[in-house]
Structure 1
Amino acid sequence: MTIAKFRDGGAVMSSQEIADLVSARHDSAKRTIERLAEKRVIQLPPLVEVKNHLGQTVEQYLFSGEKGKRDSLVVVAQLSPEFTGALVDRWQKLEEQVKAPALPGDYISALEHLLESKRSERLAIEQRDYAIETKAEIGSRREATAMATASAAVRQVNQLKEELGRGLRQATVAAVEKIAKRKFGKQGFRPLKNWCAENGVQAPKVHDPRYGWVRSWPADAWAVVYQIDLAELFGAEGEQA
């Protein structure tokens, strides 16, 4: 069952009507709409519940106004471009009905028709507003959860890098040589060790699969002795990964 009602004095077209127009499954049309909205190609239209011809409650997206008309054309262009002209004709027919709506001939039937139209219009608006509020609340919760999860993951990665001697605050000679593609020689650690001794800084030991336990030298030592910025060096590594 398609929706051909009018809202705020303008025509409304449903995702079901679009699917019927291009001979596509309604769930396929809805997925196309949602995918385009996620990519910000179109604006996600309101989602409302209506009764189909079997009396079942189904969800349909509603396109309205010039923005909705434009977005519906984008959707059809994705589903079946050859039906773009038919969609334009359908919008024109709906807009003509807005200008001169066809009402039943007798007065009582006309009033009943108007009353039913207003009830359906109010229900559609209420359902649309509820759907928008619900989606916004769910979206906020998901975003907060995703941000918290991402922050925890970043902290874990940074901690692991520090433990492995290839972090932003300290790093082993082997780790720096690998990323910087530079060799410091067998005594390359000596200047770093001397700097730590002169400045009263303790270089912690970290595990290395080749050498066992080795020293992880602080960022300040690398900066002064070899003019190497660990934050820049290992930050660039993360970007490349």
Structure 2
Amino acid sequence: MTIAKFQGGDAVMSSQEIADLVGKRHDNVKRTIETLADRKTIQLPQIEEVKNHLGQTVEQYLFSGEKGKRDSFVVVAQLSPEFTGALVDRWQKLEEQQADVSLDTEEGKLLVIQGLATKQLALIAENKLVTQQRDQAVATKAQIGAKREATAMATASAAVREAARLRDELGFSARHATILKVEAATDRSFSYVNLRRWCKANGVTPETVPDKRYAEGVKAWPAAAWAAVFDIDLADLFGADGEQA
């Protein structure tokens, strides 16, 4: 009597069972299977080693799942078409036995373990996907935050320049300042090149103020130029009345 086998929760039929069913030699059945597989008519099934009634180790093919079930019909149709009905009955019997496997048996416990393992792998894959999506969302949020910060800083710089311009127009800001004066107040170094370029582009003439070190004096650059070129508000540095030096 052939004992029903199960693989990954699916009923399994061996090539030996097919040989017994159709009354053919097992080696002939195996050759038919291999020929059909070579022709790409069926998929070559998994093979396993078992002991025969003489205690010898032999190989047999295992058909499982819907694909294996379909391929077994093709094999029987090639060998003995008149046994197709018997094959259908055999598969039905196997599937009924699959449904009736008791959880108290070793086979039933194995099926449960296999099912739990499959669910666990699916859960791990799902958790990995959720983690990847979360990390991507965090990275995207960080990028958006950085862009917003850069935009805010640019907006603030523009606001500083505009406020300086308005205060200059209303007479509330320091009007001019020399590079030496601003360097002393900020502890930074500045070049006059961009200040001069801004003045030429805007039709503004910087003032010349006396300086004991230079007979011709030094340039005092307008507050609007300082705001536009270096984001420096002379009113904040020197007070609303300002100084020219």
TM-score normalised over the length of structure 1: 0.43
What TM-score comes out, normalization by structure 2 length? 0.42
